[in-house]
Chain A
Amino acid sequence: MALSRLASSSGSSLLRPLTSALFLTPSLRRPISSAADDSTTLTIETSIPFTSHNCEPPSRTLETTPKELMTFFRDMALMRRMEIAADSLYKAKLIRGFCHLYDGQEAVAIGMEAAITKKDCIITAYRDHCTFLGRGGTLLQVFAELMGRQAGCSKGKGGSMHFYKKDAGFYGGHGIVGAQIPLGCGLAFGQKYSKDETVTFALYGDGAANQGQLFEALNISALWDLPAILVCENNHYGMGTAEWRAAKSPAYYKRGDYVPGLKVDGMDVFAVKQACKFAKEHALKNGPIILEMDTYRYHGHSMSDPGSTYRTRDEISGVRQERDPIDRIRKLIFAHDLATEKELKDIEKEVRKEVDEAIAQAKESPMLEPSELFTNIYVKGYGTESFGADRKEVRTVLP
């Protein structure tokens, strides 16, 4: 019942055909090994124009360089490969617990990074492996954390849902849906005091968009003019519930009402980059703005979800054919003659090797000592007693 309605109404919006990128400058016919990658600029258009709410949308025409294109391709291929490897590791029971994969949504992570600096903060929910990688995390840290080893970014204590990277302004990694939004606005509040022209991107999903705390945070951010950018990664399913069944108004970019919003094709990395750049400028001048990234995840909600009980396989493969972010970049690269098919395949092979090596290294990393169970509950030296199984004797004083 639900699936048929989906096919008729929102099916068309999900399978928007890929309008080929218009290129206004004559294409370069140089292989990528040429030295002058950075100086040449290419002008391209995003797949569709931006739709805005209460603000002027940015232009859909933007400039890029061959180097940027190739970097995007490589980075997204790396993220894709990483998530697929995580899938296999989970099935091999090396990763336990919960694992929420991001493949299909890579353009959001990459595009956002391209528009901002490491001093800007990003905070997201539990689908955070790729966001962490984008912030400068290494593959080793990712896989080690997933497998619960010491080399992991949270020392193995957090797991898949709790990746953090303080030196790159990545504030995680949160399991409770929607709880990261007020936190993100609080980060923006701190940034306003520090006056360093930085912003915070608080990411959430279409499921979380119905949480009350979002609106509380939005109101306060707008009231106090905080440099907070709320990014709704709308992959159209809140776990198993389609957006039209959860939201009266699935136009998440408009739900800020008095807060301006922008709807972005989240599968087009350049649209994401343009939107984030625009949003950062806006937020520093005028306060909060909402970005809705229209994106899609190929995997189910988590590894326990096959992802096909609430959507058809045709839909998934349709999106993969029409809107896949990596394919879009690939087509752009071919259109501008920046690389041959073989060269791209070589990059993918290289990426695969990198991932495999990282996994092998992560497997070598040891598990944490059992005494770490008691560390970092309170600040060191607090002298709190923690009791073991039998309360008759004190088991440990928390370090």
Chain B
Amino acid sequence: MGLSRFGGLVKGLGVARRRPFATSTSSSSSTAAGGGTIVRGTGSKSLNLYSAINQALHIALETDPRSYVFGEDVSFGGVFRCTTGLADRFGNQRVFNTPLCEQGIVGFGIGLAAMGNRAVAEIQFADYIFPAFDQIVNEAAKFRYRSGNQFNCGGLTIRAPYGAVGHGGHYHSQSPEAFFCHAPGLKVVIPRSPLQAKGLLLSCIRDPNPVVFFEPKWLYRLSVEEVPEHDYMLPLSEAEVIREGTDITLVGWGAQLSIMEQACKEAEKDGISCELIDLRTLLPWDKDTVEASVRKTGRLLISHEAPVTAGFGAEISASIVERCFLRLEAPVARVCGLDTPFPLIFEPFYMPTKNKILDAIKSTVNF
């Protein structure tokens, strides 16, 4: 299954295995590099991130009569408008507000999922997910395992907006994905754009495992893309190479990718060819694609907003070093948030900006 460690260079498209995907309208052949089973051209519209997520939720509720969307303030559309129109269309038995208690919301969702329903729980900001941490890590992640597969809460999907937004401060900007990547039994998925978000969210909702879906709140209005109007799903646990290159591999997810892309373009001017990979699913993550890329380039740089110590970049770094030690030309670089609580007025200093990434690209390439 994995590549032989000492095999020669593998051509860069990555070993994107075409997993058969059970969706009625999809057909094969991706367009860009990497996985993806989308049919283009059967009607698409220019949408921003929250509209794409809204569409995905509409489709999910339409196609499965036993699916429910709930959370704080979702009835009127939610604080980010991701749930607009759902309550009107599907009624308040299927789309409803909960009281202000995250632990209750998730626990309740686990129960609903355990009865064979699809529960899409919204946590208003990822910063508030911690009261529910026990439910997610101790109850949801381990349910199937500890009951010997008698019970499961696979129908549970938890959606939460995460990430910096420019002025969020301590409790409206956090990126807690690393905490959840540490719980086997869960899946953690982070989209980078509207098209990705719709497909990935539908996959998460229909995946038979509990999933935590983090949405980059910065991109809710900012990111606009042509999104196909029909029902389509994107595969989980498959990373996507969104920019090909030969000198260094950059790995990231969510909103950070657009920053990394800018850095790649600048590096291009200095003759450094960067390969950019969107991990898409953090747990379980696509080690093979990243490994194949690093075997091609010999250098790795990881970037995320969360603090650098024990962030998910640490896992990627350790795994790649295990697999590609002799191939690496330079130490793995991590350009991440600083080891401080997410600051209010110091946000510009905290963030892993384009220039920090560019600096690290150059020093890694010139190691």
Contact = CB atoms under 8 A, between A and B. Distances in A.
Contact of A176 (B79, B101, B171, B335): B171
A158 B171 CA distance: 11
B344 A158 contact: yes
A161 interface: yes
Contacts of B343: 157, 373
A395 B170 CA distance: 22
Contacts of B171: 161, 175-176
A157 B345 contact: yes
Contacts of B170: 159, 162, 175
B350 A387 contact: no
Nearest to B301: A390
Contact of B338 (A178, A208, A310, A373): A373
Interface string B304-316: 0000110000000
A211 B97 contact: no
B333 A391 contact: yes
Given A212-B104, A391-B308, A98 B172 contact: yes
Contacts of A310: 76
Given A372-B346, A389-B335, A208 B308 contact: no
Interface stretch (B37-45, B231-239, B355-363): B355-363
Interface string B280-306: 000000000000000000000000000
Given A175-B171, A247-B99, A389 B360 contact: yes
Contacts of B97: 241, 245-246
B331 interface: yes
A239 B339 contact: no
B63 interface: no
A310 B171 CA distance: 24
A213 to B, nearest CB: 7
Nearest to A206: B100
Interface in B113-159: 127-128, 130-131
B333 A392 contact: yes
B167 interface: yes
Contacts of A161: 169, 171
Interface in A86-123: 96-98
A178 B76 contact: no
A370 to B, nearest CB: 5
Interface in A177-218: 177-178, 207-208, 210-213
Interface string A305-320: 0000110000000000
Given A98-B172, A148-B344, A389 B356 contact: yes
A387 B309 contact: yes
A156 interface: yes
Given A148-B344, A207-B100, A246-B99, A386 B169 contact: no
Contacts of B363: 390, 392
A177 B128 contact: yes
Given A367-B345, A392-B363, A97 B104 contact: no
Contact of B76 (A97, A212, A240, A372): A240
Nearest to A246: B99
Interface string B78-110: 010000000000000000011111011000000
* Most-contacted residue by chain A among B101, B356, B357, B360 (CB, 10 A): B101
Interface in B257-274: none
B100 A246 contact: yes
A55 interface: no
Nearest to A211: B101
User: Per DSSP, are chain A's interface residues mostly helix, strand or loop, or mixed?
Assistant: loop
A376 to B, nearest CB: 9
Contacts of A388: 338
Given A161-B171, A239-B73, A389-B335, A210 B360 contact: no
Contacts of B166: 96
Nearest to B165: A97
B349 interface: yes
B352 A389 contact: yes
A271 B79 CA distance: 35
Nearest to B357: A389
A110 to B, nearest CB: 27
Interface string B167-186: 11111100000000000000
B340 A386 contact: yes
Given A98-B172, A241-B73, A391 B334 contact: yes
Interface string A149-169: 000000011110110000000
B150 to A, nearest CB: 28
A370 B169 contact: no
A384 to B, nearest CB: 8
Contacts of B73: 239-241
A246 B98 CA distance: 6
Given A247-B99, A386-B340, A239 B346 contact: no
Contacts of A98: 167-169, 172
A156 B345 contact: yes
A224 interface: no
B131 A213 contact: yes
Interface in A286-316: 309-310
Contacts of A178: 100-101, 131
Contacts of B345: 148, 156-157, 159, 367-368
A374 interface: yes
A259 B266 CA distance: 64
B341 interface: yes
Contact of A390 (B167, B309, B333): B333
A211 B128 CA distance: 12
Contact of A96 (B101, B130, B167, B359): B167
A210 B101 contact: yes
A210 B99 contact: yes
Nearest to A377: B340
A238 B100 contact: yes
Given A98-B172, A390-B335, A390-B356, A309 B100 contact: no
Q: Which 6 A-B pairs have the closest CB atoms?
A: A389-B356, A210-B99, A175-B171, A148-B345, A207-B100, A96-B167
27 contacts: A97-B168, A97-B169, A97-B172, A157-B345, A159-B169, A175-B127, A175-B171, A176-B128, A176-B131, A177-B100, A212-B101, A213-B131, A239-B72, A240-B73, A240-B79, A241-B72, A241-B73, A246-B98, A247-B99, A310-B76, A373-B338, A377-B340, A387-B338, A388-B338, A390-B334, A390-B335, A392-B333
Interface of A: 2, 96-98, 148, 156-159, 161-162, 175-178, 207-208, 210-213, 238-241, 245-247, 309-310, 367-368, 370, 372-374, 377, 386-392, 395
Given A96-B167, A240-B76, A241-B73, 16 more contacts: A2-B75, A96-B166, A97-B344, A98-B169, A175-B171, A177-B100, A207-B100, A208-B100, A212-B104, A239-B72, A241-B99, A246-B98, A246-B99, A373-B338, A377-B340, A389-B360
